Amino acid sequence: MNHIGDRLIVEGRRKRTALVVGLDPDLRYIPDVVRQGVDPETGEGAAEAIYAFNRIVIDAVAEHVVAVKPQLAYYEIYGADGIAALEQTIRYARSKGLLVLNDAKRGDIGPTSAAYARAFLGEGPIAGDMVTVNPFLGSDGYMPFIEAAEAAGKGVFVLLKTSNPSSGELQDLKLGDGDKLYMKLAAELGRLGARSVGAHGYSCVGAVVGGTYPEEAAAIRAALPSAIFLVPGYGAQGGTAEALRPFFDARGEGAIISSSRGIIYAYRNLGEQWPSLSEAEISLAIGEEAARAKEAINAVRGAG
């Protein structure tokens, strides 16, 4: 099956989950057992620790998620070594049957967007199955991503209404005709997605809609029925499972809910001794939290 909309729906049904786990590895929050090889002065060994941590996370969450979502910034800090850890992480996730969504938020003028699309949706070492895209440069900035996704059966998630507190400063601006910016963009993405709708009703053009904005989600869902929503903001950013209902379609599908820090650092809730926990202990805490998040989301979307 070479259509990302169909793959996400089918995988979600098979594994009974709408959860995506973000891989945002931050050495400050990684236990000693994983980061013991890192030189605190030079940072040497950081990339190895990041990959070792990601393996633990992937093993712990694999049965509960449809995809993992590496957040590029946390790898770029370490330059080529960090990107090597990303490459290893992508290969490892795929070997576990997981889809890979690179949270890169790229966007540029046409020829450069085409180069980014090649990097993230092509065949190269950091390419995954999906990528997040920033639409600020307009259609000639995001079309190369959509065209690459259509050609490869892969997916893009265009930022529409992001989860952060100040997302409204630009995204909610009221235009001369009274519409908000994100609704105008939603209408445009709906037109573009119409040409790649798959057997299960969803296209390769998804949208990022923050879990912290359920009212906006209802309006966007109505305007954009064939877009899968990538929903960040659940968990550490304050979004609750109850608020997620309007993000799903009538069957409880069509959205993937992303949580990063709330799951991958779940062991920090075990108390101040978290840095000295064993690998088995951190793995258990991460897996239990992923299962809990999956079930909380399933209850809300009627898949419980």
Segment contacting a copy of itself (CB under 8 A): 3-11, 28-36, 137-145, 246-254?
137-145
Residue (141 or 254) nearer to a copy of itself, CB: 141
On whether the CB atoms of residues 67 and 7 are closer than 8 A, the answer is no
Options 8, 64, 68, 78; binder of a copy of itself; rule CB under 8 A: 78
Cα–Cα distance for residue pair 223/155, rounded to 1 Å: 19
Between helix 46-61 and helix 279-301 the angle, nearest 10°, is 50
Among 91, 97, 151, 164, binds a copy of itself (CB under 8 A): 164
Confirm if 70 and 258 have CB atoms less than 8 A apart: no
153 binds a copy of itself (CB under 8 A): no
Tokens of 171: 């995204």
Catalytic-role residue among 15, 69, 96, 105: 105
| Torsion angle of C-alpha atoms 285, 74, 166, 146, degrees rounded to 10 | -110
User: Can residue 40 be called a binding residue for a copy of itself (CB under 8 A)?
Assistant: no
Residue 190 near residue 227 (C-beta atoms within 8 A): yes
Stretch in the footprint of a copy of itself (CB under 8 A) among 165-173, 191-199, 274-282, 291-299: 165-173
Beta strands at 255-259 and 229-231: parallel, antiparallel or unpaired: parallel
Residue from 134, 141, 11 nearest 67 by CA: 11
Query: Which of residues 1, 73, 187, 222 is near a copy of itself by CB under 8 A?
Result: 73
Min dist. Cβ of residue 62 to a copy of itself (A): 23
What single letter denotes the amino acid at residue 1?
A: M
* Candidate segments 13-21, 93-101, 175-183, 266-274, binder of a copy of itself by CB under 8 A: 175-183
Interface with a copy of itself, residue 48, by CB under 8 A? no
What's the distance, CA 122 to chain centroid?
Answer: 18
Of 148-156, 180-188, 213-221, 275-283, the segment contacting a copy of itself by CB under 8 A is 180-188
Residue 187 amino acid letter: A
Q: What are the φ and ψ backbone dihedral angles of 22, each rounded to 5 degrees? A: -80, 135
Which residues here bind a copy of itself, judged by CB under 8 A?
24, 26, 43, 71, 73-74, 76-84, 86-87, 105-110, 112-113, 115-116, 118-120, 122, 124-126, 134-141, 159, 162-171, 173-176, 178, 181, 184-185, 232, 237
- Which residues are annotated as catalytic? 105
